[in-house]
Amino acid sequence: MSFPKGFLWGGAVAANQCEGAYLEDGKGLSVPDMLLGGDVNTPRTFLPVTDPNAFYPSHEAIDFYHHYKEDIALFAEMGWNVFRLSINWGRIYPNGDDAEPNEAGLAFYDSVFDECRKHNIEPLVTICHYEIPWAIVTNYGGFANRKVIDLFVKYCETIFRRYKNKVKYWLTFNEINICCMGEGGIGDLYGLGVMDEEDIKATHPIKLSDLKNNKQRTFEALHNEFVASAKVVKLGHEINPDFMIGNMIAHVTAYPLTPDPKDVLACDHEENLKNNLCCDVQVRGCYPIWAKKYLKELGVDPYFIDNEEDAKILKEGTVDFHTFSYYMSNCITTHEGAETTGGNMTHGGKNPYLKASDWGWQIDPDGLEHTLETLADRYPGLPLMVVENGFGAFDKVEEDGSIHDTYRIDYFKGHIQSMKKACEAGVPLIGYTTWGPIDLVSAGTGQYAKRYGFIYVDRHDDGTGDFSRSRKDSFYWYKKVCESNGEILD
Ligand code: BGP
In one-letter notation, the amino acid at residue 20 is G
Return the minimum-mean-pLDDT range out of 260-274, 342-356, 364-378, 386-400.
Answer: 342-356
Percent of the chain beyond pLDDT 70?
100
- Give the ligand 1 atom nearest the CA of 452: 16
List the catalytic residue out of 115, 175, 271, 369: 175
Assess whether pLDDT exceeds 70 at residue 114.
yes
Q: Which helix (H) or strand (E) holds 10?
A: strand 8-12
Work out the number of other CB atoms within 10 angstroms of the CB of residue 263.
Answer: 20
Name which residue leads in pLDDT, 43 or 430: 430
Residue 48 pLDDT greater than 90, yes or no: no
Query: What is the reported pLDDT for 381?
Result: 97
Contact between residue 445 and residue 37 where contact means Cβ atoms under 8 Å apart: yes
Polymer length in residues for the chain: 490
Q: Per-residue confidence at 15, pLDDT binned at 50, 70, 90?
A: very high
pLDDT for 131 beyond 70: yes
CB 319 within 8 A of CB 232: no
Q: Model confidence over 443-463: pLDDT tens digits? A: 999 999 999 999 999 999 999
- Active site (annotated) includes residue 175: yes
**Ligand 1 centre and the CA of 238: distance in Å?**
32
Site to probe by mutation for ligand 1, drawn from 128, 441, 442 as the one with most ligand atoms within 8 Å of Cβ, is 442
Tell me how crowded residue 486 is: count the other CB atoms within 10 A of its CB. 21
Question: Which residue puts its alpha carbon closest to atom 2 of ligand 1?
Answer: 443
Residue 428 scores a pLDDT above 70: yes
Q: Could you tell me the distance, in angstroms and rounded to a whole number, from the CA of residue 61 to the centre of ligand 1? A: 14
**Distance, CA of 375 to CA of 319 (rounded, Å):** 15
Segment 97-124 mean pLDDT: 98
DSSP code, position 274 = I
Nearest CA owner, ligand 1 atom 7: 344
Residue 262 has, within 13 A of its CA and on its CB side, a CA count of 4
Q: Report which ligand 1 atom has the smallest distance to the Cα of 442.
A: 14
Q: Shortest CA distance to 162 belongs to which of 113, 119, 211, 122?
A: 113
Give the pLDDT band (50/70/90) at residue 1. low
Q: What is the rounded CA–CA span in Å between residue 47 and residue 449?
A: 21
Is the model's pLDDT at 346 over the cut of 80?
no
Q: Which of 325, 361, 394, 433 to mutate to test the pocket of ligand 1 (most atoms within 8 A of CB)?
A: 325
Q: Is 157 a catalytic residue?
A: no
Q: pLDDT (tens digit, 9 = 90+) per residue, 148-194?
A: 999 999 999 999 999 999 999 999 999 999 999 877 898 999 999 99
Task: Decide the pairing of beta strands 206-207 and 45-46.
Answer: antiparallel
Q: Which of 60, 122, 369, 388 is catalytic?
A: 388
Within 6 A (CB) of ligand 1 lie 14, 17, 174-175, 250, 325, 344-345, 388, 392, 435, 442-445, 450
**Do the Cβ atoms of 45 and 55 come closer than 8 Å?**
no
* Per-residue pLDDT at 201: 87
- Specify the pLDDT at position 423: 98
Report the CATH architecture of 8-483: Alpha-Beta Barrel (3.20)
Question: Residues 6 or more apart from 151 whose CB is under 8 A from it?
Answer: 93, 96, 97, 136, 140
Euclidean distance between CA atoms 256 and 409, whole angstroms: 29
The amino acid present at 305, given as its one-letter code, is: I
Q: Report helix angle 64-77 to 103-118, nearest 10.
A: 20
Q: Are 463 and 441 in contact (CB under 8 A)?
A: no
